Chains A and B, each alone.
Chain A
């Protein structure tokens, strides 16, 4: 039987109200969004916040839109909304492909993009997408807002650049005309965390790769990405040989540990193979688009 430790609960009525509540209640308070990372931890009593600040009424944090040359997702956008969003799918298939293998439909109804990103589990699928696409997040505190690139956002497992009295408000992704993208995941069973996942985008122009991003999760790749693999592909044709070489470089960027999800060498192999498969499909999509 799992029951959270006693706690208090308050609903924020605006982002600034949420921030002032965080300041008021200090480090023992915690934002409650979808709750599907925090509540399970509270049931295990691993997390024991003394005040839960429910931000589910903050409509200002919802919505998916295009803003100039960026896709903007409010922090409270649910996984389901990302999965079903036509505008996201139009620009990057990777969003739908990734969300299809995150959790299950019910969890996706509640879980949010901001919550998942701020939870910063080292196996978070959206982290691979965020790093692959070189997205950024907007963080708001009492003194204003700031933007942090997702490749600098994570400080370690479960730790991000968000300070105690701050809240993430948006996630932003550059729009790249002509990009193809893909996501590949291996999991032990439906809805599980990945053994390894790879997410990529590729822009192929005149037969050569002009831009690409490679994200990896669950394999301890620094900042969930593989920069050497990306750099290798620029200016090269997306041939099998080149993609295989890039995939090997991606695997080199992974430093997995053996655990109940699998042995380290298997995860390394997956980093290689899944990156390759994702690159193949992304490159094809870019050329077919």
Chain B
């Protein structure tokens, strides 16, 4: 099935593209995803999701099949397996940035998702709902990151712990990002994340999370 999600970030195209390429800043934005390794164009990730009564752990890997700076498009092929079960999922993700205005950029993510096993019985309604929510969370967090980067002297977002009366220093990759809404997360320690040049693995987390929804949606009372 195909899922489409889209959101807008308050940054010009260049900043948006560059920020998206800064994985250390982006990885914590994605609820539940942890990058475990990166090697050239291949990466591995785990996703932990808590959704109501559901907790699921996925492990997967993927690779970039396209990064196009000219069209600001990236494509990833990824597969994942539930760590404690028999479900599998495959996702082909296409992420494209387009300029909305000189100061805002739209990200469009199209996910072509295939699931096997029990998951294949499930409906897509819940999947679409939840992936929309998670992308929304990701976008909110991403916006905070971008805003913090663009205006180092601006006060940190309200839910960050206040610095002791000093102006906020320009964030560097090793310092904590603005407090993000990551309550469903199982964050990897940012210091352990290897330096990565590509961000899109994070978006693949969405696809894995989408698989969760397949499982959850299966019901007969």
Using a CB–CB distance below 8 Å, which chain A residues touch chain B?
5, 27-28, 30, 36-38, 40-41, 44-49, 102-104, 107, 111, 119-123, 155-160, 191-193, 218, 220, 256-261
Given contacts A122-B125, A157-B126, are A103 and B221 in contact (CB under 8 A)? Answer: yes
Q: Collect the chain A residues with CB atoms within 8 Å of residue B66's CB.
A: none
Q: How far is the CA of A218 from the CA of B55 in the complex (A)?
A: 23
Q: Is the CB of B218 within 8 A of A44?
A: yes
Tell me the B residues contacting A by CB distance below 8 Å: 50-56, 84-85, 118, 121-130, 133, 213, 215-221
Complex Cα spacing A179 to B144, Å: 48
CB-defined contacts of B128 to chain A, threshold 8 Å: 220, 257
Bound complex: CA A61 to CA B56 (Å): 31
- Of all chain A residues, the one with the shortest Cβ separation from B136 is A156
From DSSP, what is the main secondary structure of chain A's interface residues? loop
Q: Which residue of A lies closest to B220 (CB)?
A: A192
When the two chains form their complex, are residues B54 and A259 in contact, meaning their CB atoms are under 8 A apart?
A: no
A191 contact from B213, B215, B220, Cβ within 8 A: B220
CA A257 to CA B50, docked complex, whole Å:
23
Pick from A48, A111, A159, A192: contact of B55, CB below 8 A: A48
CA A27 – CA B51 in complex, angstroms? 11
* B126 pairs with A44, CB closer than 8 A: no
B-chain residues with CB within 8 Å of residue A30 when the two chains form the complex: 53
Decide if B133 touches A158 in the complex (CB within 8 Å): no
Give me 14 A-to-B residue pairs in the complex whose CB atoms sit less than 8 angstroms apart, sorted by A's number.
A46-B56, A47-B53, A48-B55, A102-B221, A119-B52, A156-B129, A158-B51, A159-B52, A218-B125, A220-B125, A220-B128, A258-B124, A259-B123, A261-B123
Could you say which residues of chain A place their CB within 8 Å of the CB of B127? 257
Contact residues in A for B129 (Cβ distance below 8 Å): 122, 156-157, 220
| Inter-chain contact total with CB atoms closer than 8 Å | 91
On whether A38 and B221 interact (CB within 8 A), knowing A157-B126, A220-B129, A257-B123, the answer reads: no
With the chains together, A107 CA to B219 CA distance in Å?
Answer: 14
Whether B54 pairs with A47 at a CB distance below 8 angstroms is yes
**Chain B residue with Cβ nearest A219:** B125
A261 to B84, alpha carbons, bound, how many Å? 28
Q: Nearest 7 pairs between A and B by C-beta?
A: A259-B123, A158-B52, A257-B125, A47-B53, A103-B221, A157-B126, A156-B133
A156-B220 in contact (CB<8A)? no
Cβ–Cβ contact B221 & A259, under 8 A: no
- A107 vs B123: C-alpha distance when bound (angstroms): 23
**Is there contact, CB below 8 Å, between B215 and A44?**
yes
CB distance from B218 to the nearest CB of A (A): 7
Q: CA of A218 to CA of B129 in the docked complex: distance in angstroms?
A: 11
Q: Which residue of A lies closest to B134 (CB)?
A: A156
